[in-house]
């Protein structure tokens, strides 16, 4: 059975935004080098999920880069710079809140708050405090390809809650979110320090708590390094991080994650990522994965619009959800910049496979067509 498209109110919200050229930046400067800036984005997408027997198509806020609004304050103080950032998702019906069993829309909650972040930066480094990114946030997702806005190492943004269907037709399998991950770092109420850059390398560490969640008194801490440089026109970004979650009577969890991406002057790019998780428990699995992508981008194909990007990627994981399980994802995507309207459009297809010792499951495939408008 095929379920028909169910459009949600966010399409009406974004229609007027795409009907006119992009507005000027909402930035207000003072006479001492500081400024206040308002910013945000809308990212609706048509998402169609086929579980092997049924197809469900909906319009949702795309979780790969959800709709949000924010406020940034920058103020120099001598050789140092103070920054305050507030940012929250809008709480629109999200792509992770839908499955074959229906919708679980939560609306706006405090967990939609992304940043309430204070920082001070100087030639000695940067100290940050408040709700914001842990140091490992982004360590598994270094990606210089333009198509990376919709095709990157975390593959479950579009169908996180959908279940795999077994060969008998029952929804007996785990969810897509249970079977694929990149272990990338999180946002927490934290204290963080970043060193200055040394020949492209920066180092740092953070400690935090999940104060926006309920009944989570565990400690989160991490440390690692980022690298960014250019060589003869080629750009290279890389990261490596170690992160831990422990306390509150739960099993200690340790992750080692890393990623690297190179963008050549020709527009060709190569991206890789990998991660492993160790849980100090006899009942939890210790999954691992690797990821690779080849992409190409150019401004020559549709010069009147803007940059075009295409890519193909592959993710492979073991021991997700169950010991001995195998998970894989492959996908292709295209992204198109519409410069005059400050819009990035994208179309992706991804195929998800999962098997474990309990049963065989049908592959699940997902098509996403979306557009992200920023202001």
Each residue's pLDDT tens digit, 313-344:
999 999 999 999 999 999 999 999 999 999 99
Query: By percentage, how much of the chain surpasses pLDDT 90?
Result: 89
Averaged pLDDT for residues 251-261: 98
Q: Is the pLDDT of residue 48 over 70?
A: yes
Q: Say how far apart CA 204 and CA 240 lie, in whole Å.
A: 11
Q: Is the pLDDT of residue 3 over 70?
A: no
pLDDT for position 21: 55
SS3 365: strand
Tell me the average pLDDT of the chain.
93
Averaged pLDDT for residues 141-157: 98
- Tell me phi and psi for residue 123, to 5 degrees: -70, -5
Averaged pLDDT for residues 111-119: 97
213: Cβ contacts below 8 Å, ≥ 6 apart? 111
Q: Is the pLDDT of residue 350 over 90?
A: yes
pLDDT for position 106: 87
Reported confidence tier of residue 154, pLDDT bands at 50, 70, 90: very high
Averaged pLDDT for residues 231-252: 95
pLDDT for position 25: 84
Q: Please return the burial class of 197, using the count of CB atoms within 10 Å of its CB with bins 0-12, 13-18 and 19+.
A: middle
Reported confidence tier of residue 23, pLDDT bands at 50, 70, 90: low
Element holding 354 (H helix, E strand): strand 343-356
Averaged pLDDT for residues 103-131: 96
Each residue's pLDDT tens digit, 270-289:
999 999 999 999 899 999 99
pLDDT for position 15: 46
DSSP string, 86-129: EEEE--PPBGGGEETTEE----S-GGGEEEEEEEEEETTEEEEE
Residue 118's closest CA among 79, 89, 86? 86
**Which residue has tokens 């920058």?**
74
SS3 300: coil
Residue 108's closest CA among 96, 124, 128, 94? 94
Residue 240's closest CA among 292, 277, 203, 192? 203
Q: Is the pLDDT of residue 211 over 60?
A: yes
Poorest-pLDDT segment among 14-18, 47-51, 257-261:
14-18
């Amino acid at each position: 059975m095929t379920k028909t498209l169910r459009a949600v109110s966010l399409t009406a919200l974004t229609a007027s935004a795409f009907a006119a050229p992009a507005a000027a930046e909402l930035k207000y400067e003072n006479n001492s080098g500081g400024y206040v800036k308002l910013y945000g984005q809308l990212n609706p997408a048509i998402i169609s999920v086929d579980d092997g027997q049924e197809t469900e198509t909906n319009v949702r806020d795309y979780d790969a880069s959800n709709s949000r609004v924010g406020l940034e304050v920058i103020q120099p103080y001598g050789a140092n710079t103070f920054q305050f950032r507030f940012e929250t998702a809008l709480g629109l019906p999200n792509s992770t809140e839908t499955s074959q069993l229906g919708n679980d829309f939560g609306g706006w909650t405090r967990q939609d708050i992304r940043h309430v972040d204070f920082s001070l930066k100087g030639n000695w480094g940067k100290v940050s405090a408040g709700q914001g990114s842990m140091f490992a946030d982004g360590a598994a997702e270094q990606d210089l390809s333009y198509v990376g806005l919709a095709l990157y190492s975390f593959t479950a943004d579009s169908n996180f809650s959908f279940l795999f269907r077994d060969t008998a037709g029952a929804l007996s399998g785990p969810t897509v979110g249970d079977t694929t991950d990149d272990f990338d770092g999180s946002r927490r109420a934290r204290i963080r320090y970043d060193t200055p850059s040394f020949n492209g390398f920066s180092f740092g560490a953070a400690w935090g708590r999940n104060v926006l969640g309920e009944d989570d008194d565990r400690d989160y801490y991490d440390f690692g390094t980022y690298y960014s440089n250019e060589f003869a026109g080629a750009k290279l970004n890389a990261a490596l991080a170690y992160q831990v979650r422990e306390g509150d009577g739960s099993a200690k969890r340790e992750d080692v994650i890393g990623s690297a991406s190179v963008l050549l002057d020709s527009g060709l790019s190569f991206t890789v990522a990998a991660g492993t998780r160790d849980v100090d428990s006899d009942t939890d699995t210790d999954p691992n994965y690797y990821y690779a992508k080849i992409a190409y981008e150019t401004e020559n194909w549709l010069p009147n619009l803007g940059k075009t990007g295409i890519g193909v990627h592959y993710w492979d994981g073991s021991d997700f959800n169950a010991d001995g399980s195998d998970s894989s994802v492959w996908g292709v995507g295209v992204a198109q910049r519409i410069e005059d309207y400050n819009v990035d459009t994208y179309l992706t297809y991804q195929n998800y496979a999962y098997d474990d010792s309990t049963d065989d499951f049908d592959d699940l495939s997902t098509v996403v067509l979306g557009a992200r408008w920023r202001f």
